[in-house]
Amino acid sequence: MSTTPSDHSVLELPGFPLETGGALAPARLAYQTHGELASDKSNAILLPTWFAGDHTSHEWLIGPGRPLDTDRYFVIVPNLFGNGLSSSPSNTPAPQAGADFPHITMRDNVRAQHALVHGHFGIERLELVIGCSMGAQQTYQWAVSYPDMVARALPFCGSSKTAPHNAVFIEGLRAVLTADPEWRQGRRAPGYAAGLRAFARVYAGWGFSQAFYWNERYRTLGFDSLDDFLVGFWEPNFAGQDTNDLLAMLWTWQHADVGATEGAGGDVVKALGTITARTLAMPAQKDLYFPPEDEAWASGHIPGGDVRVIPGEWGHLTGAGANPDDVEFIGRAVRELLASPGEN
């Protein structure tokens, strides 16, 4: 969940219509690329970003010799709407600024990314779509919305539809932000210190597993005590965020559901059945809000869908790539999937 952006580009999409009505005029899609697109455009990988992160968050997967090997692949990392780099409450002018920013769905995100991948780069087929958490949700949405374009999909620590318990967790986060004394219906952007601190504290319990804390795994992140970890890791992670941006991303997350794709008629099972990508879902064993059950369930409805649980104690933040064992486990799976034939 690094929030220090490095160099990135922006694709402007004029008059970008939104699924919930209205439009962004323009939508701005911030993205970064790594490696070089082959002349036949056959080596592209897409890695959408997760909640409160940006295109730098999963750089640990990307680079020469890394699982998303930039000596071979062209890796596109599009930023989630609401993250402060792509169109967001914090960077959109009136009348859509701040609390007036419209609701954005996963399909809006994926459709904008399609405009980047297909319209801008002229890529017909992605070798892989891979993402973590909300990035995994975009991965599922890509596989459903554009089955002909996705050869392989690797969603990790995520789900195809936000489960009810996950939605309750999000409701708690929303309530914390909007209870802030400086909240005032979102009219006091950007950040509200009390609410963001409480938000970070609440998130701390969900982000890692019970066993992570029991076994003091935060020591491997350089913190000597639990208090230091709560203050030194979690508070900075959210302290610089814009509350309206967080709320915008939470809305997108809460409403993630591939079943809402046109043609699926609200039926997530039907939507999953249309996936043709070779799909390997990788939930983390002790993830408290995207538990393995979510992706195991989804995989059962994806033709040839496979699931491989990431073992260990890092909970949801298994997907942050801070634990070498997890990096190794996920990396090996990425290489295996890329070495396998795609399904379309």
Q: Which of 57, 86, 133, 299 is catalytic?
A: 133
For residue 70, give Cα distances in angstroms to 29, 67, 109, 329, 339.
22, 9, 24, 19, 15
Task: Compute, in degrees rounded to 10, the torsion defined by CA atoms 90, 316, 163, 246.
Answer: -10
Fill in the per-residue mask, 239 to 278: x = in contact with a copy of itself (CB under 8 A), - = not in contact. ----------------------------------------
* Binding flag, residue 311, a copy of itself (CB under 8 A): no
In angstroms, give the least distance from the CB of 135 to a copy of itself: 20
Contacts of 70 (CB under 8 A, 6+ apart): 34, 35, 62, 63, 64
Q: Kindly write down the DSSP assignment for every residue of 275-343, as one continuous string.
A: --SEEEEB-BTT-SSS-HHHHHHHHTTSTT-EE--B-SS-GGGGGGT-SHHHHHHHHHHHHHHHHSPP-
Q: Which of 55, 58, 114, 316 is catalytic?
A: 316
Residue 133 is among the residues annotated as catalytic for this protein: yes
Residue 245 is among the residues annotated as catalytic for this protein: no
Residue type, 341: P
Question: How long a stretch of residues is the chain?
Answer: 344
In angstroms, give the least distance from the CB of 93 to a copy of itself: 29
Q: Of residues 213, 259, 301, 335, which one binds a copy of itself by CB under 8 A?
A: 213
* Sites for a copy of itself among residues 133-162 (CB under 8 A): none
* Binding flag, residue 307, a copy of itself (CB under 8 A): no
* Binding flag, residue 174, a copy of itself (CB under 8 A): yes
Residue 120 is among the residues annotated as catalytic for this protein: no
Known catalytic residues are 133, 287, 316
Q: Which residues bind to a copy of itself, rule: CB under 8 A?
A: 163-169, 171-172, 174-176, 178-181, 194-195, 197-198, 200-206, 208-214, 216, 226, 230, 288-289, 291, 293
